[in-house]
A and B are shown apart, each in its own frame.
Chain A
Amino acid sequence: MSNLSAPAGVEYAEAREHEVRKVRKVMIDGNLTANSQTSEGGISARVFNKGYWGFASIPAMNQKSAEKVAKKAADNASAMCRFGERPRLELTGAGYVGEHGYNGRPPMSQKESMDVMEGVNDLCKTRYPDLKSTSIMLHEESHQKKFNTSTGGDGLNVINRAAVYLMMTAEDKNGQPVELMEAISSKGNLADLELSMGKLEPILDDLHGHLQAKCNAVPARGGDHKIVLSPELSGMLAHEAMGHPCEADLVLGGAVTGNLVGKSVASELITMMDLANSYNGEELMIPVYADDEGSESIDVILIENGILRNFMTSRETAAKLGIQPTGNARAYTFNDEPLVRMRNTAILPGSSKLEDMIAGIENGYYLMKTGNGQADSTTEFMFGITLAYEIRNGKLGSAINDTTVSGTAINMLKTVDAVSDDMHWECNGYCGKKQPMVVSSGGPAIRAVAHLGGE
């Protein structure tokens, strides 16, 4: 790591060498429409002085660049003093020292990835002649960050994740297109996904079966309904519904969670955490040992048996709230400044069985897959539902058309009356804020009342 040139007389300084490598391959009906590899790397410096921040970055990683950005960052912080004096704020937290690399399988070769995509394409063409289109996307992403801070932080954090997206398109009885996608994700690179046809075939069969059901889907009835969220969805719920409103910058910006610490915000069946790097002795998909401010990343209990407990913080937001930093400050690329971001956000499993949870609903829905979601400072959340089934008298009925589930997190989480003993983790997609970010989310199945969009 280039030596941090901590400018004299500043209260806090940090430097980061950060490289992001990505691979993206897309095949649509046997046509390779994308076969790309990107590498983005550079060095940044950030300075905090007299209540203001200065940041600078350059796409080079050498000593001269380190010195250039350190000076520019200090100059920028000084330039901010034109806005007047600020009250002193002492940034809290010690500096973490440690290196955490990644040991996985050797990367998948170009030929191996072509074999996987062509294998899936050929199988779908033969086995599912009713399909209009099959798409496969392979994606892997590697973040390597070296950091150095004036608080004594010095280390390396490596985050790798890989995902494959399988998309099928068919036509309904009116000739209208119907789509369904399955995402498989994990820590590491594409080789770590172990994408054998033996593994993929049952997944493809399952996906096709659900797509056929969707071709005969009925509209969802708009309004409040008893629902079961599959384990694949409860991570999205954790992330959108209460994860974002527990980010300290949103709390300081006026999110309603600011007044609710120590109060009931969910059923006592709900415990929700933002985990730093491990769960039950296993390293998680996005293992963060230290954040980009060199703070040790610690687990944050957001909700404990229904009671709101803690927020996720950076050094500055922790200082403003009078608490310790939790190691949640992360930047997406070298030219981004660290923001409060989630890491591995999950609702913890309970003791119910999924089949019993469904059987206990007379009239409702089983929500299985989602595409994206959004949060709000009011804790109102939404996420798109791309696969769901009616529940009638405790049994699954017709598939429903794509819909959206929403609610106010606090109201919705208070209606939770069953949490399954499953636990599903995933790390596909990006969390959006000022910058994108790789995150993972997880959880069990949950039964609750929520609002569905529909006629």
Chain B
Amino acid sequence: MSMELKNIAELTLEHMRDAGFDDCHVSVGVSEQDELNITHNEPSLLRSTEDYAVSMLGIVDGRKASSSLTDIGEDAIAAEITGLFERAKSAPQDEANAVSADQVSHFEQGPLESSLDLLAEKTSELLDFRAASAPKVTVEEGGAAHLVSRSHEVTSQGTELSSIIGCYQLQVMGTASEGDKSSSFNYTGGRANDLTGRHASEWFAIGDMLVDTQNQIVTQSIDARFTGEVILAPSAVSDLVNWLLGQLNASALIAGSSVYENSIGEVIATPDLFINSDFDAPGHVPYTDDGFTARPINLVEGGKLTTLLLNLYGSRKTGLDHTASTSGWRIEPGSDAKEDLIASIKQGALVNRLSMGQPAANGDFSGVIKNSFGIEKGEVGTALADTMVSGNMAQMLKDIDGISAEHLDYGGQDFPFFRIPDMHFS
């Protein structure tokens, strides 16, 4: 299969050169998935999918176009190349258009064969745990899956990257109810290279989530607006991290809407914050979309921003440094015990999830806090409903005044709990 992908990629590259492209980038991939689904507390569906894709990017006379198709037959690809060339010729010239050069690597990771027995075992464990420990919860959807992907990409400038990865996935989403009352829906899940060795409920805090959700049927709203503190759970920390990553990418920097354009080397967060890449987390490949090997990055060191995350095009367009990055990030745990962080809260909330619109360009946001509990004088109280928090993402990074030793690894997102003061509750 790998040789076949290599042959298709190289043949496609050759056809693109023959068609008249000055530079080309071709990527060919195949993936297979077996997914065992739960619906309403019952195993319901076994779904098996195969997927192929050939992606082509062509540059002629500084003009660029791209295509992707699932038909990897020679005739389909040839027809697509013809259309691709015409579209590229009509695009505007841009000196920043280029393809990666001389990136050569092969990456392999994870289980390449699916085990239905393992998928079934973990599904049964999830359902047995729910029945025994969280009987008021209905698992709306969830289950276990195995995914394997193979890819081969080449460019006209000597890049050749290939990968074979496999991983398992567990996910659960559900709601607890009693009488005519219901909790918010709650969910968790992640990827791992091996699901054996731990009960399903012990992966990705699934068990904790199910039990917590039972405690979210009875809720209360806050009495009045106030300014208080939050403990952001790892699932909510990811919103903060995703906002930061969005500020550092090519789109924001080209548009001039990033608040961090001139912040390399500057303190942008608490000195206790260290954000590092985790590009080879389970199910992840350390290659970028534009054909680079993504080396490990220490993005934030002691609160200082070390780099922007411009891809090749963005770097050539802005004149700023190119940094190859893809998905998968980890925050170094701190030294505070989570229970101590909670005990330090005078008035606030333990926030598991933020439901909100896209933060404004300057980082201002307001969001409904979901699956969350009020904290009063250090004690976790009743679950909250109809409660919003607002603040500013950039300011929150600076204001973090506690980072827990406990952390949760979802496979590509490994985050601790944060304590953040001065949040507006309404």
B-binding residues in A (CB < 8 A):
28-42, 52-60, 72, 76-77, 79-80, 82-83, 86, 109-111, 114, 118, 132-133, 135, 169, 172, 176-179, 220, 222-223, 249-250, 252-256, 259, 335, 337, 370-374, 376-378, 380, 382-386, 401-404, 406-408, 434, 451-455
Q: How far is the CA of A404 from the CA of B90 in the complex (A)?
A: 41
Q: Which residues of A contact B389 (CB under 8 A)?
A: 453
Q: How far is the CA of A371 from the CA of B367 in the complex (A)?
A: 13
With contact pairs A83-B43, A179-B361, A455-B390 given, residues A33 and B250 touching in the complex (Cβ less than 8 Å): yes
B182 touches A378 (CB 8 A): yes
B382 in contact (CB, < 8 A): no
B67 touches A132 (CB 8 A): no
Task: List, sorted by A's number, 16 A–B pairs whose CB atoms are closer than 8 Å.
Answer: A29-B254, A33-B313, A36-B68, A37-B83, A39-B70, A39-B80, A40-B69, A53-B46, A82-B120, A172-B362, A222-B225, A335-B51, A376-B370, A406-B355, A408-B385, A453-B366
B361 touches A404 (CB 8 A): no
B243 in contact (CB, < 8 A): no
A132 touches B88 (CB 8 A): no
State which residues 13-60 of B face A: CB under 8 Å: 37, 39-40, 42-53
Q: Which residues of A contact B120 (CB under 8 A)?
A: 82-83
Q: Which residues of A contact B235 (CB under 8 A)?
A: none
B118 in contact (CB, < 8 A): no
Q: Which residues of A contact B67 (CB under 8 A)?
A: 36-39
A41 touches B368 (CB 8 A): no
* Smallest Cβ-Cβ distance to B257: which chain A residue: A177
B140 touches A254 (CB 8 A): yes
Contact-residue bracket for chain B: 35 or more
* Smallest Cβ-Cβ distance to A255: which chain B residue: B182
Q: How far is the CA of A321 from the CA of B189 in the complex (A)?
A: 29
Q: How far is the CB of B354 from chain A (nearest CB, A)?
A: 10
Give the residue of A36, A378, A451 whose beta carbon is less than 8 angstroms from that of B66.
Answer: A36
Give the residue of B71, B80, B257, B388 whose beta carbon is less than 8 angstroms from that of A169.
Answer: B257
Instruction: Give a binary string over B396-426; 1 marks a CB under 8 Å from any A CB, 0 the rest.
Output: 0000000000000000000000000000111
A403 touches B366 (CB 8 A): yes
Q: Which of A30, A452, A453: most chain B Cβ within 10 A?
A: A453
Q: Which residues of A contact B138 (CB under 8 A)?
A: 253-254
Q: Which residues of A contact B257 (CB under 8 A)?
A: 132-133, 169, 177, 179
Q: How far is the CA of A249 from the CA of B39 in the complex (A)?
A: 9
A110 touches B70 (CB 8 A): no
Interface stretch of the complex, out of B149-157, B170-178, B200-208, B336-344: B170-178
Q: How far is the CB of B258 from chain A (nearest CB, A)?
A: 8
B47 touches A76 (CB 8 A): yes
B94 touches A31 (CB 8 A): yes
Q: How far is the CA of A254 from the CA of B185 in the complex (A)?
A: 9
